[in-house]
């Protein structure tokens, strides 16, 4: 049976598919064991058609993975072809060059069958609490230091778990219960997705998803190309300096905006890979480019494969943004997240009303040790800086741009980790001044109340090069990490004795436009809220506040 795919039908069914993806996410969150998934939403759910094209991504997913899921599926099917898959099979890998760029994300795929025919694939991705090795951080010198690397493997074969693979995982990780629990949550979530997708076809009288998938992708591609065509064609360049391991590193890009509504990014001129875990596999770099262009052009549309067609990218093999094995890539987000401001800076002339100033980005701590009762602990703390300002909008306070992870509520964090958050407050004047102000950073103080020593792996950027303002806007405040009055290596491993504290000073977002052009009413409101000091109002904005 077939259904006529008019515009109204496509819209209704498209929204329904998004709701199915969101229900899969909800299942994943409810069944997960770690706060990384259940509270911070470091996850992705993607639904792909039988040809491996992305139809929808869950609304609460990490958006950049819209660009990694289709290549991941293709590489999985090269290893285990579709004709070898059976109902009940589940395939998984955490290989950085097949998945999302680092070893800590597990990619779990389930083929969806209607009878003996594959009609779709569901991919669920979560950041695991641990994979062994040195732990999630930037201190590894090669991939082998970072932990257990799982090749493309059948985790379930016709509904039966691969006990050997499961035992290998258990044997190699800290916090075994949470790691295995989260992997099984992925398996459960994909099973829910399979059931709902089969019901979808029955409800709408469709034999498969191919026609609907093509309509979704073609409409999205057309919308994206039309927005790109609104930009003036040309080549736009940008280069920035960022914190490396032995000195500054250059990231460079040249972006061709073409009359056919396509964009091509070339990262020639970017510095080489390093012997620390901040290298970026190209799968993640390309996905960051796609995500950034999508934000600039069609932010209102649900993510799907139609948005990949107009965007291409290249980077020299062996550079920091196209690292090859055995490069360590554990903290690849520390560099990969710079792709967004790098591209925004290049396109500031072509799309001045859409780009944003630099974000303070996200600071991630891996905390390893033992709970108060002696159980092993390996968990993550996410601390956000301020968002960058746009031409017509202030940057929001403490949001983790350019990603979307949530922060674990204080009460939940303290209950589950046996540590105490002594202070968590916004920092006045930390956002870059501008006609539109950058979002504020924050101060967070965490005390070790476990009764055991803790190892803290730091992954902090924006410690040497501040988030830049745009169009005359000022830079945001730098990020700092301290403990016991001493500055900490932002990419290092540190010991936190019982009772010791670590203090996080999070970066503010860059401002947009001349601060003297900010309205007096907005400045006075900022002072009243405590976002801007009276001194800064007078000296930077030219507004005297009694």
Show the tokens assigned to 94: 């955490």
pLDDT, position 1: 42
Ranges of residues in the chain whose predicted pLDDT is under 70: 1-4
pLDDT attached to residue 3: 54
Question: Which tokens go with 249?
Answer: 């590193």
Q: Which two tokens stand for residue 429?
A: 């004047």
Task: Report the pLDDT value the prediction gives residue 2, as an integer from 0 to 100.
Answer: 47
pLDDT tens for 152-195 read 999 999 999 999 999 999 999 999 999 999 999 999 999 999 99
Angle subtended at Cα 355 by Cα 353 and Cα 359, rounded to the nearest 5 degrees? 135
| Segment 227-271, tens digit of pLDDT | 999 999 999 999 999 999 889 999 999 999 999 999 999 999 999
Q: How many CB atoms lie within 10 A of CB 116?
A: 7
pLDDT one-digit tens code per residue, 344-374: 999 999 999 999 999 999 999 999 999 999 9
Residue 52 DSSP class: S
Which residues is 112 bridged to in the sheet? 120
Structure tokens at 207: 């034999």
Q: What is the DSSP string of 60-129?
A: TS-GGGGTTHHHHHHHHHHHS-GGG--TT-EEEE--TTTTTSSTTEEEEEEEEEETTEEEEEEEEEEE-S
Q: How far apart are the C-alpha atoms of 464 and 478, rounded to whole Å? A: 7
Strand segments, DSSP code E, in 371-507 are 376-384, 419-426, 442-448, 454-459, 480-483, 486-487, 493-496, 501-505
């Amino acid at each position: 049976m077939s259904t006529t795919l008019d515009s109204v039908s496509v819209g209704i069914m498209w929204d329904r598919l998004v709701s199915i993806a969101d229900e899969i996410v909800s299942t994943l969150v409810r069944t997960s064991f770690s706060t990384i998934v259940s509270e911070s939403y470091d996850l992705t759910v993607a639904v792909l058609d039988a040809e491996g094209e992305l139809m929808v991504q869950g609304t609460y997913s990490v958006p950049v993975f819209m660009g990694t899921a289709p290549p991941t599926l293709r590489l999985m099917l090269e290893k285990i072809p579709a004709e070898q898959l059976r109902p009940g099979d589940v395939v998984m890998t955490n290989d950085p060059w097949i998945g999302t760029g680092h070893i800590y994300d597990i990619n779990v795929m389930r083929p969806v069958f209607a009878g003996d025919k594959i009609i779709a694939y569901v991919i669920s991705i979560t950041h695991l609490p641990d994979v062994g090795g040195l732990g999630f951080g930037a201190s590894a010198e090669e991939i082998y230091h970072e932990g257990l690397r799982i090749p493309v493997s059948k985790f379930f074969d016709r509904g039966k778990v691969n006990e050997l693979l499961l035992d290998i995982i258990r044997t190699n990780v800290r916090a075994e219960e949470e790691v295995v629990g989260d992997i099984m949550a992925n398996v459960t979530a994909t099973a829910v997705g399979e059931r709902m997708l089969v019901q979808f076809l029955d409800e709408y009288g469709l034999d498969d998803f191919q026609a609907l998938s093509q309509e979704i992708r073609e409409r999205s591609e057309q919308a994206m190309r039309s927005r790109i065509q609104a930009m003036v064609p040309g080549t736009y360049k940008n280069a920035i300096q960022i914190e490396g391991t032995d000195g500054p590193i250059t990231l460079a890009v040249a972006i061709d905006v073409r009359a056919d509504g396509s964009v091509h990014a070339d990262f020639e001129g970017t510095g080489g890979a390093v012997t620390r875990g901040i290298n970026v596999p190209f799968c993640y770099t390309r996905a960051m480019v796609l995500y950034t262009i999508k934000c600039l052009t069609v932010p209102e549309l649900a993510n799907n494969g139609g948005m990949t067609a107009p965007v291409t990218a290249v980077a020299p093999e062996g550079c920091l943004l196209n690292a090859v094995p055995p490069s360590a890539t554990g903290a690849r987000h520390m560099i990969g997240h710079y792709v967004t401001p790098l591209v925004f800076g290049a396109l500031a002339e072509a799309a001045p009303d859409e780009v944003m100033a630099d974000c303070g980005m996200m600071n991630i701590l891996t905390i390893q040790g033992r709970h108060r009762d002696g159980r092993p602990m390996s968990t993550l703390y996410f601390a956000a800086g301020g968002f960058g300002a746009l031409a017509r909008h202030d940057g929001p306070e403490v949001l983790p741009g350019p990603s979307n992870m949530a922060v674990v509520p204080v009460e939940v964090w303290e209950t589950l980790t046996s540590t105490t958050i002594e202070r968590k407050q916004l920092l006045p004047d930390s956002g870059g001044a501008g006609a539109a102000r950058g979002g504020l950073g924050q101060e967070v103080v965490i005390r070790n109340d476990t009764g055991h020593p803790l190892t803290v792996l730091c992954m902090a950027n924006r410690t040497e090069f501040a988030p830049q303002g745009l169009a005359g806007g000022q830079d945001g405040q730098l990020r700092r990490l301290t403990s016991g009055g001493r500055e900490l290596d932002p990419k290092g491993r540190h010991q936190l004795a019982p009772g010791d504290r670590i203090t996080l000073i999070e970066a503010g977002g860059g401002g947009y436009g001349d601060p003297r052009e900010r309205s007096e009413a907005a400045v006075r409101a900022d002072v009243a809220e405590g976002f801007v000091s009276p001194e800064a109002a007078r000296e930077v904005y030219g507004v005297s506040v009694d």
